[in-house]
Amino acid sequence: METNILDRNYVHVSGSGDQTIMFAHGFGCDQTVWNNIMPAFEPDYRVVLIDYVGSGRSDKSAYSRDRYDSLYGYAQDVIDVYDALELESIIYVGHSVAGMIGTLVSIKRPDLIEKLIMIGSSPHYLNEPDYYGGFEEEDIHELLDMMETNYLEWAKYLAPIATQNDELAEDFEARLKANDPAIARQFAEVTFYSDHREDLPKISARTLILQTSTDAIAPPEVGQFLHEQIPGSELVMMKTARGHNPHISHPEETVQEIRRFIDGTGV
């Protein structure tokens, strides 16, 4: 086992079971966002959590602007972790941009991911003539400029928009502020300007798309697009969850939908 890779991504392994489920966090967060999700799976699954390089308790000295100038660098990190742990045919749960990172992993190494679960994910955030991503290019410019000139004010601005929940906004703001501003800005730029729409039909893993009706980052139209483009995928519009972080705001419903999809039992 290559411990340097596990340290790099601050890999945490728990639970028991023959199959592994990995939970991958979205932009601006870390693996602790799954604290109310993973206990439901530890009795039956081997649970793997990671921090993307530059996030959480990852080894930030491993960050390279060249390696992480696209989502492919993050996807390779996931593959490295899989190989270090000798994993195959796992269940991958990715929130937001992590859903697209999982997409790239599943295409490059189909043996690694058996089931792919996306929560609030988007293949492209910019509006195009024939596509609604939710953002105009000037919106992205303003966000990136704010990150560069006043990172703390940007975190305060984004948190309530993303969470759609006053009680959670303060916690999410604190998570954003805990990041290195320079790394976070590059990750944001890579995320918001990525376009992986053409990759979606290449996904062979059985796929679940969890979508809320009030997601300002990845609106319902994006969830519908994912469903239309990913062969055999299932789209679930969550009933009680709101905002971009249903795994934080409504862990019970999130757990129920994941369990229903992977083992058909619900909770």
Give burial (CB, 10 Å; 0-12/13-18/19+) of 62. Answer: middle
Give the pair of three-digit tokens for residue 99: 């859903």
Contacts of 114 (CB under 8 A, 6+ apart): 89, 90, 91, 205, 206
Choosing from 215, 233, 249, 250, the catalytic residue is 215
Rounded to 5°, angle at Cα 113 from 102 and 61: 45
Q: Where are the alpha helices (DSSP H) in the chain?
A: 3-8, 71-85, 97-108, 137-149, 151-163, 166-177, 181-192, 220-229, 246-249, 251-263
The pairing of beta strand 46-50 with beta strand 12-15: antiparallel
Choosing from 55, 58, 96, 233, the catalytic residue is 96
55 is catalytic: no
Please choose, from the candidates 97, 244, 74, the residue with its C-alpha nearest in 3D space to the C-alpha of residue 163: 244
16 is catalytic: no
215 is catalytic: yes
Contacts of 119 (CB under 8 A, 6+ apart): 93, 94, 95, 96, 99, 210, 246, 247, 254
Provide the angle, in degrees to the nearest 10, between the axes of the packed helices 137-149 and 151-163.
Answer: 130
Amino acid at 47: V
Q: Which residues are catalytic?
A: 96, 215, 244
